[in-house]
Structure 1
Amino acid sequence: MEFELDEEQRMLRRTVRETVAKVRTRSEERQWETYRALGWLEAPPLELVLILEELGYAADPTPFLATATWFAPLAGRLPEGSGTAVFDGTGRYVLDADRADEVALLTPDGVTVVPGAHLTARRVEVLDPHLHVAHVDAGPLAAAVPDLALTGLAATAVGACRRVLDLSLAHVKQRTQFGRTLGSFQAVKHKAADMHVAVERARVLTHFAALALAEQDPRRTRAAHMAKAAAGECQRLVFRHGLQLFGAMGFTWENELQLHLKRAQACDLLLGTASAHRKALLSA
């Protein structure tokens, strides 16, 4: 497998970054329309992961993640509008189930796609206020989580953690204490370095999972578990160090940091935490 991004992939990442920066102040509907019009939902696995990293970096509020990585791999197509899926056998904590136009249900008899309006979905409060999560009332369900769903959550968490790191670095470079910038203290440098290593480790494993999916590699399920576990472990370290580097400011609603910390932690909790996927690796 080739881990180095080619020029087209690097260009895609720059384009996504610039586009998201331009439209992030618009309404959720306008952002969603832009992403659909650009054809991002049709991207192959690795390119999709690059897009999701940038959307995670911006704490994207649209149903892109659920549509591209929950609905599409289960239904085998893109939805008419937005979509999501129920595939863990419980119908609990389903991403975007309260606003999806179509929902793919994994049942003992196979996959059934139903209009979102035909299901009873109750939105539940989660730590990330911009994330739509709901409990779904449906018939008999089966459990088989798509590898792409795990990889998509990992990529989103990586993007959120990268944003926390960037915000923390900008803060310690300008905040002064005892007549020196915080970034000049060795302990602060160590924390920043640990955050960087954790983000890069999770990013590499997420890219490996995407490549395994793209090439139908037999290791793709293990790779997806590894990516989800690494992203969860990354967010825990970044969460702790990011808050410490910001001090009391990191706890305030006015600070942007809390948005990205919540998004990263929500991605860890959805479809199993890091420890759950570490255990899954023993039997994968």
Structure 2
Amino acid sequence: MEFEFDDEQRLLQRVARDTVARSRDLPEDQLWATYLELGWLEAPPVELAIVLEELGYAADPTPFLATATWFAPLAGRLPRGSGTGVFDGAGGFVLDADRADEVALLTSEGVVVRDGKELAAERLSVFDPTLHIARVDAPDLVAGVPDLALMGLAISVVGSCRRILDLVVAHVKERHQFGVPIGSFQAVKHKAADMYVAIERAKVLAYFAALTIAEDDPRRGRAAAMAKAAAGDCQQVCFRNGFQLFGAMGYTWENELQIHLKRAKAGDLLLGTASEHRKALLV
């Protein structure tokens, strides 16, 4: 299977990148209104992946990811407002369940859509205070994670890791040691190169997963698991090297890096880590 963006997809990528860059400082409700106006929630899988990568790059605070990739594939439609889905069989860590207008539940009787206000969803305290993670108390849940949800998390992690690398590269060009930028040191170059390679590998697999979903390819399940595993591996490399190259200041509240480090780590932990998906691929 050969794949590259066509002209319309490249245009969407530029528009998404420019829009996110211009509007990232807007209040959350205005961001959400902008995404709805642009029709991004209605994008097919590959185009949706393009948008999600850029939103991941900006650590988007809206419920876009949960609405587009957790609710929509489960319910078969977009929600009235924002939405999310519960499909892990436990309801333990559900993205945006505490603020969703509608929640799709995967039960033994099929998919049940509930009003978010009527559902018992308790927001959990996690290491990323900007991320909404909740516990959902609902009966008769069964496990069945949509491929689109795995792909969405994978490409979002890729976006976060791209931002980590960009911040690190800018930092090592500016910080001097022994009279020269630390980016001129071979060891620093190697670590940045490792980050770049990991990002490109994860990106290719995420877009391959999006394409198999778009074409309803029988490989879509394995492709989504491969993408999620690769994204988890990618965040490990970028977290470790990014934190080391930036120094401890990169994890202070005043520094933007810590936001993207946490988002990348959360993306790996949600819906199964890299090791879990690699094990699943062996079955």
TM-score of the aligned structures, taking structure 2 as reference length: 0.99
- Equivalent position of 1:102 in the other structure: 102
The 5 Å alignment of 1:154-173 reads 154-173=154-173
Equivalent position of 1:92 in the other structure? 92
Where do residues 9-28 of structure 1 align in structure 2 (5 Å cutoff)?
A: 9-28=9-28
Secondary structure, aligned partner of 2:209: helix
The separation in 2 between residues aligned to 1:181 and 1:220, in whole angstroms, is 45
Q: Deviations over 1:155-203 (max 9, x none)?
A: 1000000000000001111110000101100000000000000000000
Structure 1 vs Structure 2 CA RMSD: 0.7
Partner residue of 2:70? 70
Give the match's secondary structure for 1:113. strand
What 5-or-longer segments of structure 2 have no aligned partner?
none
Q: Could you tell me how far apart the structure 2 residues matched to 1:259 and 1:111 are?
A: 34
The number of residue pairs the alignment matches comes to 283
Alignment of 1:9-48 (within 5 A): 9-48=9-48
Match status 1:58 vs 2:45: no
Q: 2:149 & 2:18 partners in 1: Cα distance?
A: 25
1:248 offset after TM fit, Å? Answer: 2.1
Given the two structures, how large is their TM-score scaled by the length of structure 1?
0.99
Provide the C-alpha distance between the structure 2 equivalents of 1:46 and 1:215, rounded to a whole number of angstroms.
10
**Residue in 1 aligned with 2:249?**
249
Question: Could you give the per-residue CA deviations for residues 140-166 of structure 1, whole angstroms, max 9, x where no partner exists?
Answer: 101100000000000100000000000
Extract structure 1 runs of 4+ deviating beyond 6 A: none
Aligned to 2:152: 152
Unmatched 5+ stretches in structure 1: none
| Structure 1 letter corresponding to 2:121 | A
Identity %: 71
2:4 is paired with a residue of what secondary structure? coil
The residue that corresponds to 1:237 in the other structure is 237
SS in 2 for 1:71: helix
Q: Give 1:178-197 correspondences, 5 Å limit.
A: 178-197=178-197
Match of 1:112 in 2: 112
Q: Once the two structures are superposed, what CA deviation does each residue of 1:117-153 show, in whole Å capped at 9, x if it has no partner?
A: 1101000011111110000111110110000000000
Alpha-carbon distance in 2 for matches of 1:252, 1:178: 25
